[in-house]
Amino acid sequence: MYSIDERRRNEEYRRRRRERIRKKKQREARRRRITLVLMTIIAILSIILIVKIFSSCSADKIVSTAEKIANATQSTEIPTLANPIKFTESQLQLNVGNAHRPLILDSYRTELTEFSLKSENEKIVRVNENNELIAMGEGDVKIICTVSDGRQAECQIHVNPMSTTGIRKDLDRNKPMVALTFDDGPNGSNTTSILETLNRYNGKATFFMAGYKIEEYPDIVRQVFEQGHEVANHSRDHLYASDLTFEQQKEQMESVNQQVKNIIGQEPTLFRCPGGIEGEYYTSGRMPLISWSIDTLDWETKNSNSTYKRITSVFEKGFNLDGDIVLMHDLQDSTPDAVKKICEYLNEKGYQMVTVSELAYYRDVQMEGGEVYRYFYKDNPSRDYE
């Protein structure tokens, strides 16, 4: 039998064991409650997140649907006055010979690419196949833009006469004038020598420059301009228009305009077709085309005396050079010596050596883009120098 002490010890042990079991059960119960709470919170957060995602997707679909409906509504409203079109400039000024492609916008400031332009007077502004406005002559004109659904916009254009900047205003219009012109340059020492001779006789000339030579002698281009002579365009590569497409002619002309502008700050206003051969773009109205009435044939003879005699023979035949445009080439090494003799000869006869633009100005001729000019005679006589 157990003693009293042993029974007490056993009871105490059983009591402590029951207490440990009870506390263990309590701890497990707390863990379960905490786990349940955490799981509940996670479940609630997950539900909230799912609801938000679903709501967002639904909203996007609603917005997308609304936009489609709005766009569809807009597309049906385009022909109405609710979405008018307009020029970015309702009024515009151009100079004769300038080209400009207008920008057309709708009421949502979207640029339109398909439209047609019409000029109410093509003698003032002409529209080419690229929807460029070509300033042909001085005056005011309305340009109308039309899109396929019938919407229209208008722009008022004022065309100024060709700039007279650089034209000497102190010349005597009653004294004879002749325009000496030089092609295919600039050509370094040749051009510099010609400039020295012209300056000696207070003469000015027009230099029709080729793009590939401009790249070689930009400083000469600047010198020609700064000394008051006229820098003009003779195409980039001196290729004949008969061998070029419309777009190639455009590139030949416009690239040189940009070259010259980069050097002297302004584009040339005159163009001479290589070989005198006119092309579709050249005659489209972008720039006046300058030909010649006297060909010295310096490019063929390459002899300064022969070049000089082409000038003196005119007078020997009983004619004069008043109003003539003379063709020479500063590319030819014989030309500078010929120019010395020619300038001395013309100076003795009382001639003023002028630029092409000066000659046109004093003969009251407003040159127009695309037109060919070979001379500016006072009475426009018929002459046979040959």
Residues 100, 132 within the same domain: yes
Q: Is 234 a catalytic residue?
A: no
| 8 A C-beta contact, residue 295 and residue 307 | no
Residues 67, 143 within the same domain: no
Tell me the C-alpha distance between 314 and 122, whole Å. 40
Q: Is 183 a catalytic residue?
A: yes
* CA-based nearest residue to 234, from 204, 216, 259: 259
Helices (H) and strands (E) in the chain, counts: 9, 17
Straight-line distance from the first to the last Cα atom of the chain, in angstroms, rounded to the nearest whole number:
163
**229, 234, 298, 329: the active-site residue:** 329
Question: Looking at residue 111, what DSSP letter applies?
Answer: B
Question: Looking at residue 213, what DSSP letter applies?
Answer: H
In-domain check, residue 299: yes
Q: What pTM was computed for the model?
A: 0.70
Domain count, the chain: 3
**183, 184, 324, 330: the active-site residue:** 183
Residues 156, 186 within the same domain: no
Q: What is the mean pLDDT of residues 216-235?
A: 97
The sheet that has 99-100: what strands, in order across it? 99-100, 133-135, 125-127
For the chain, percent of residues with pLDDT exceeding 90: 63
Token pair for residue 361?
């100005």
Q: Write down the pLDDT at residue 305.
A: 98
pLDDT band at 78 (very low <50, low <70, confident <90, very high): very low
Return the half-sphere exposure (C-beta side, CA atoms, 13 A cut-off) of residue 368.
13
- Interval 123-182: pLDDT, tens: 889 898 888 888 888 899 999 999 999 999 999 999 887 766 789 999 999 999 999 999
Q: Write down the pLDDT at residue 64.
A: 59
Strand 325-329 with 125-127, pairing: unpaired
Tell me the C-alpha distance between 191 and 213, whole Å. 12
Residues 12, 114 within the same domain: no
Which of 129, 160, 191 is the last residue in one of the domains? Answer: 160
In-domain check, residue 382: no
Q: What is the mean pLDDT of residues 21-44?
A: 83
| 8 A C-beta contact, residue 83 and residue 108 | yes
Number of other CB atoms surrounding residue 148 within 10 Å: 11
In-domain check, residue 168: no
Which of 77, 102, 123 is the last residue in one of the domains? Answer: 77
Residues 146, 195 within the same domain: no
| 8 A C-beta contact, residue 357 and residue 166 | yes
- Interval 226-277: pLDDT, tens: 999 999 999 999 999 999 999 999 999 999 999 999 999 999 999 999 999 9
In-domain check, residue 192: yes
Angle at 20 between CA 18 and CA 26, to 5 degrees: 105
The phi, psi pair for 56, rounded to 5°, reads: -65, -45
Residue 156: domain span: 85-160
- Interval 88-117: pLDDT, tens: 888 888 877 677 889 999 988 899 989 999
In-domain check, residue 272: yes
Q: Which residues contact 379 (CB under 8 A, 6 or more apart)?
A: none
Residues 263, 310 within the same domain: yes
Q: Write down the pLDDT at residue 25.
A: 79
In-domain check, residue 338: yes
pLDDT band at 32 (very low <50, low <70, confident <90, very high): confident
In-domain check, residue 31: yes
Runs of H (alpha helix) within the chain: 4-77, 189-200, 211-216, 218-226, 246-264, 298-301, 304-316, 335-348, 356-362
